[in-house]
């Protein structure tokens, strides 16, 4: 059951922690965008967060996202791995697709954008730890892929996203992604979640993705 007062309080706490991490890194807290990860939580929870001033949300699954969005005043990021057969729906509802990682997906996004007459912002997901079980373009192939996507999508290619290995110090991985973004002149670096966002902010994150600390434990999906 959605508790709007709890969500508002949680958002206040998370924002304060982000601001403290930014100041500790010598950065302006206003440079950091909080993506509230609303996956598995109902639209009522999204609306409660919006009432508390939150406007940017992240969803893993396109089908679930389509049940909640679009909402006036909300920006939707698709942050999970995207199947090509879901690309059209993602293009239709998302403001940003943060998991572009292969040419076939780029093809599907481009076709959908031509049909829908809109193209969301795009982030290349880099498999920064080269983990076989994770989505994302391999680090050895990342520079060439980023160049190709920049040539294809222009300014709509806004930046990079990564999820570092869970069992390693995330800081070197975050610094590597930030350096990669610098090389390619990309402003957006989506990196950092509940357990490591301070390290991500210190390394130059512009977007952090936080769910449970805002919405509570994930609701069970059927």
Inside any domain, residue 221: no
For the domain that residue 171 is a member of, what is the CATH number? 3.20.20.10
Q: Can you give the residue range of the structural domain that contains 133? A: 4-215
Inside any domain, residue 31: yes
The domain total for the chain is: 1
Inside any domain, residue 220: no
User: pLDDT tens digits for 23-49?
Assistant: 999 999 999 999 999 999 999 999 999
Which two tokens mark 55?
A: 């406007």
Inside any domain, residue 156: yes
Alpha carbons 120 and 99: distance in angstroms, whole number: 12
User: pLDDT tens digits for 99-148?
Assistant: 999 999 999 999 999 999 999 999 999 999 999 999 999 999 999 999 99
Alpha carbons 213 and 155: distance in angstroms, whole number: 33
User: pLDDT tens digits for 169-201?
Assistant: 999 999 999 999 999 999 999 999 999 999 999
Inside any domain, residue 222: no
């Amino acid at each position: 059951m959605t508790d709007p007062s709890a969500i508002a309080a949680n958002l206040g706490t998370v924002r304060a922690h982000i601001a403290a991490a930014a100041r500790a890194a010598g950065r302006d807290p206003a440079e950091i965008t909080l993506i509230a990860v609303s996956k598995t939580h109902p639209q009522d929870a999204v609306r409660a967060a919006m009432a508390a001033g939150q406007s940017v949300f992240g969803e893993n699954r396109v089908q679930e996202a389509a049940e909640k969005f679009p909402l006036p005043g909300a920006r939707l990021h698709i942050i999970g791995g995207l199947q090509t057969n879901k690309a059209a729906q993602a293009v239709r509802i998302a403001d940003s697709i943060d998991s572009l990682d292969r040419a076939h997906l780029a093809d599907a996004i481009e076709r959908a954008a031509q049909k829908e007459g809109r193209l969301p912002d795009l982030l290349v997901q880099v498999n920064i730890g080269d983990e076989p079980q994770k989505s994302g373009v391999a680090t050895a192939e990342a520079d060439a892929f980023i160049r190709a996507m920049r040539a294809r999508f222009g300014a709509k290619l806004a930046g990079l996203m990564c999820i570092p290995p869970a069992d390693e110090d995330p800081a070197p991985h975050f610094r590597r992604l930030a350096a990669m973004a610098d090389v390619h002149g990309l402003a957006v670096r989506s990196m950092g979640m509940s357990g490591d966002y301070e390290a991500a902010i210190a390394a130059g994150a512009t977007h952090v993705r936080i769910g449970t600390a805002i919405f509570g434990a994930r609701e069970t999906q059927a």
